[in-house]
Amino acid sequence: MSARPSAVTYDADTGVLLLDTPRTSYSAYVGRADDIPVHTYWGPPITAEDAAYLATTTAARLASEWECFRSAANRHEEYPLDGGLQFGRAALSVEFPGSVRSIEWRLARHEITAGPGHQELALWFEARHQELTVALYYRVHDDSDVIDRWVVVRNDSTTDAVDVHRLDSAAWVTPEQPRHRMTHLTGRWAAETQVRRTDLADGHLVLESRRGITGHHANPWFAIDDGTATEESGRVYSATLHWSGSWRMLAQRELDEPAQVLFGWGHEGFGPRRLEPGEMLKTPISSGLFTAGGFGAMSHAWHEYALRHVLPNSGELRPVLFNSWEATGFDVDEVGQRALARQAADLGCELFVLDDGWFGRRSGDRAGLGDWWVNTDRFPGGLKPLIDEVHALGMGFGLWIEPEMVNPDSDLYRAHPEWTYHYAGREPHTMRHQLVLNLARTDVAEWVFGELDALLSANDIQFVKWDMNRPFTDAGWPEQPDRQGRLWLDHVTGVYGVIDALRRKHPGVAFEACSGGGGRVDFGIMARTDQFWPSDNTDALDRRYIQHGFSHLYPVRTMSCWVTDLPTFINKRRVPLTYRFHVAMAGVLGIGGDLNAWTAEETQEARRLIAQYKEIRHIVQHGRLHRLGEPGRSASAVQYVTADRKESVVLVYQEAQQYDGNPAPIRLRGLAPGGRYRVDGGPVLSDAVLSGALLLGHGITPQLTGDYASTLIRLELLD
């Protein structure tokens, strides 16, 4: 299918809207009587005539409905409103004076605008009985099939506040089909991004975070297919939310209906967000995508969109970092870190990151958070001597911070206990002995910015690992009782504001998003950071699953992966160094082990593999990822191919050998079928020349034996 230009059209006479992306179309119409936008189509490209036909036939079909216990339009709405004939969950629920919740609206105007590489449509609705304006936004890109949606709501009253109970970014409607199978990511701390598939029942399925952070337990993303899609084939509908706090994804359908998925910020029960007279509120973006080539094509499209439209500086190659956390824990000091830095540089690391323990009275997790001054017992000359040595060794310097937190045992808390979320007269719950700072307060956000700005101004720092190690509890703001409903939203915008301001002022500093591992992995934070720490779990086998799930939505270029020591603190498992490296080389390679304890052979092997990674990282970090099988099968692989198909890397893994078996050939993907490739790697593959046709159609036989066996294969196009 050849790509075509993206376009947005809206026919004011018929109310038909048509969004065209290079390989898809999306259509709806605004109902004549009630001005409710009804979804009609999402799939391969159609014409304007097709869209008009769909509008006519859908309207006729819904109008012929005679049952008096439901509304035929339910589950077809582009954006279901509370009240009226809406019996399902609403995307927009506003409480007006007198406890009135029902909204009926009329389309006031539409607006089409074009910017570089994209076009936008806004449908502006006015409530018929209240002073409220709502705009539904759609954006298409010239270079992506991803459609961005968001909503703006404005209280037009000059006298009355209204309470917004629900304000989703979008409702995504997938077609009526016999099965609606949802693929999603579940998990917990140290077990993030596990892929699950489940059929939608008649009723509701809710995935959400109620924790104030994106969460380890669910990731804001889903994919729906008819139960037959595979990695390489099938129609898949998917969507995500660009937001880093609490969120809700609610899929609803009743008998014989399409599935309608509401996606938005905030969670049920946190209290309404008051909208003052004249105030306007804009939701985060929810992005949706239709792809016809299975889960593999879906991931390619998401990755390309993320690299082109979300991640800053996506074209750069991320350096190989060393991080002190698993090596020295809280026991950091100048002498020890300088010794580690020398060893890290000797291995070939390019960035040295000093993790927790360098500040305040931080000797464990009970004290110090909030006191962002350098602990001079541990670093008598401040950080400068260490930073100077790290730079002299040719590496960049990075620092761990956890700016949204405070330990009760800290100077900050003693001075400002009221800066934390708490309820009056109640003892707040601590988790990891810490409390969450109220970044919804502008004075607190400004203080955090000031501390970090001072740190980055006083020290020559290239990288910041921004951590967030506990969820919200006791989320009160006693001095501002009417603001308790908004702190869940304003905390996140407060964090975004601080990071954005720091990036503007210190453009040379890269940021890693971390929340006890992968508790804050989403497109919202991705837009202002450079990479993720996907999990505190560095056990190589577990990482295979975590990375597999992560790659469904998030690009390899953002996936930080460390090689650490044995046994790992999670599973006490022992796996060979080469396997551990091959797993970490599947993303942005880093080292997190105590290099003092590595043997001469291990150091030599690590040096070799880091050098090899530097040769292939442009393919891994910037190439297209193909998932060849799933972890845990007798052998599976991840393959990376450059855009010009000239270079490819395959990392093959065999977790366990069973029944004396040898792995079957693994078919490669994405290569030029008519080309000839030099294939190098694996026991019997040194310098073989094989055709693209063979590699794609038959595959390579990796010949792995034993448990935790792995190999790296490189392919280079000869002609």
> Catalytic amino acids?
467, 536
Output the smallest distance, CB 647 to ligand GLA, in A: 32
Output the smallest distance, CB 432 to ligand GLA, in A: 8
Question: Which tokens sit at 625?
Answer: 């990822």
Output the smallest distance, CB 532 to ligand GLA, in A: 11
| Closer residue to ligand GLA, CB minimum distance, 293 or 516 | 516
Strand partners, 111: 122
- 145 in contact with ligand GLA (CB under 6 A): no
Q: Of 26, 221, 352, 400, which lies in the binding site for ligand GLA, with binding defined by CB under 6 A?
A: 400
Question: Which tokens sit at 48?
Answer: 């304007």
Comparing every residue's Cβ against ligand GLA, the nearest one is 356
Provide the CB-side half-sphere exposure for 477 (13 A, CA). Answer: 22
Stretch that binds ligand GLA, among 50-58, 100-108, 152-160, 509-517 (CB under 6 A): 509-517
- 37 in contact with ligand GLA (CB under 6 A): no
| Closer residue to ligand GLA, CB minimum distance, 293 or 517 | 517
Question: Which tokens sit at 203?
Answer: 């009723």
Rounded Cα distance between 519 and 104, Å, is 39
Between 464 and 503, how does the x/- string for binding to ligand GLA read (CB under 6 A)?
---x-x----------------------------------
Q: Select from 29, 20, 222 the least CA-distant residue to 107.
A: 29
Stretch that binds ligand GLA, among 15-23, 115-123, 512-520, 693-701 (CB under 6 A): 512-520
- 410 in contact with ligand GLA (CB under 6 A): no
Rounded Cα distance between 558 and 394, Å, is 23
Return the residues of window 573-612 that contact ligand GLA according to CB under 6 A: none
Output the smallest distance, CB 190 to ligand GLA, in A: 9
- 212 in contact with ligand GLA (CB under 6 A): no
Return the residues of window 184-203 that contact ligand GLA according to CB under 6 A: none
Output the smallest distance, CB 328 to ligand GLA, in A: 11
Q: Select from 592, 585, 631 the least CA-distant residue to 608.
A: 585
Output the smallest distance, CB 331 to ligand GLA, in A: 12
Stretch that binds ligand GLA, among 53-61, 301-309, 513-521, 595-603 (CB under 6 A): 513-521
- 409 in contact with ligand GLA (CB under 6 A): no
Stretch that binds ligand GLA, among 8-16, 99-107, 510-518, 612-620 (CB under 6 A): 510-518
Between 352 and 391, how does the x/- string for binding to ligand GLA read (CB under 6 A)?
---xx-----------------------------------
Other beta carbons within 10 Å of 128: 12
Stretch that binds ligand GLA, among 386-394, 496-504, 511-519, 561-569 (CB under 6 A): 511-519
Stretch that binds ligand GLA, among 279-287, 337-345, 404-412, 514-522 (CB under 6 A): 514-522
| Closer residue to ligand GLA, CB minimum distance, 6 or 564 | 564
Helices (H) and strands (E) in the chain, counts: 13, 37
Q: If you write DSSP's letter for every residue of 502-515 in order, what string do you get?
A: HHHH-TT-EEEE-B
Output the smallest distance, CB 535 to ligand GLA, in A: 8
Between 430 and 469, how does the x/- string for binding to ligand GLA read (CB under 6 A)?
-------------------------------------x-x
| Closer residue to ligand GLA, CB minimum distance, 135 or 514 | 514
Q: How far from the centroid of its chain's Cα atoms is residue 352's Cα? A: 25
Q: Indicate the DSSP class of residue 379.
A: S
Q: If you write DSSP's letter for every residue of 316-344 in order, what string do you get?
A: SPPPPEEESHHHHTT---HHHHHHHHHHH
Rounded to whole angstroms, the maximal C-alpha distance in the chain is 80
Look at the alpha carbons of 607, 611, 617, 620 in this order and tell me if their dihedral is positive or negative. negative
Other beta carbons within 10 Å of 228: 12
| Closer residue to ligand GLA, CB minimum distance, 190 or 301 | 190
Output the smallest distance, CB 111 to ligand GLA, in A: 44
Rounded Cα distance between 105 and 153, Å, is 13
Strand pairing report for 624-628 and 144-155: unpaired
- 512 in contact with ligand GLA (CB under 6 A): no
Q: Of 103, 205, 354, 514, which lies in the binding site for ligand GLA, with binding defined by CB under 6 A?
A: 514
Please name the helix (run of DSSP H) or strand (run of DSSP E) that holds residue 149, with its range, or none: strand 144-155
Check: CB of residue 704 under 8 Å from CB of residue 655: no
Pinpoint the alpha helices (H) of 465-590. 487-505, 523-526, 540-550, 577-584
Other beta carbons within 10 Å of 503: 18
- 536 in contact with ligand GLA (CB under 6 A): yes
Strand partners, 18: 9, 27
Q: In degrees rounded to 5, what are phi and psi of residue 688?
A: -75, 150
- 225 in contact with ligand GLA (CB under 6 A): no
Q: Of 266, 288, 368, 517, which lies in the binding site for ligand GLA, with binding defined by CB under 6 A?
A: 517
Q: Select from 487, 543, 491, 489 the least CA-distant residue to 518.
A: 543
Output the smallest distance, CB 468 to ligand GLA, in A: 9
Pinpoint the alpha helices (H) of 363-486. 384-392, 411-415, 442-458
Strand partners, 115: 118
Q: Of 516, 555, 593, 682, which lies in the binding site for ligand GLA, with binding defined by CB under 6 A?
A: 516
Output the smallest distance, CB 542 to ligand GLA, in A: 15
| Closer residue to ligand GLA, CB minimum distance, 405 or 652 | 405
Tokens 């409530």 appear where?
127
Return the residues of window 318-357 that contact ligand GLA according to CB under 6 A: 325, 355-356
| Closer residue to ligand GLA, CB minimum distance, 37 or 517 | 517
Rounded Cα distance between 219 and 521, Å, is 7
| Closer residue to ligand GLA, CB minimum distance, 522 or 536 | 536
| Closer residue to ligand GLA, CB minimum distance, 25 or 469 | 469
Output the smallest distance, CB 284 to ligand GLA, in A: 24
Which residues, including other chains, have CB under 8 Å from residue 572's CB and lie 6 or more apart?
none
Q: How many residues bind ligand GLA (CB under 6 A)?
A: 11
Q: Indicate the DSSP class of residue 698.
A: T
Which residues, including other chains, have CB under 8 Å from residue 693's CB and lie 6 or more apart?
673, 674
| Closer residue to ligand GLA, CB minimum distance, 356 or 490 | 356
Distance between the two ends of the chain, CA-based, in angstroms?
26
In the complex, the residues that contact ligand GLA under the rule CB under 6 A are: 325, 355-356, 400, 467, 469, 514, 516-517, 533, 536
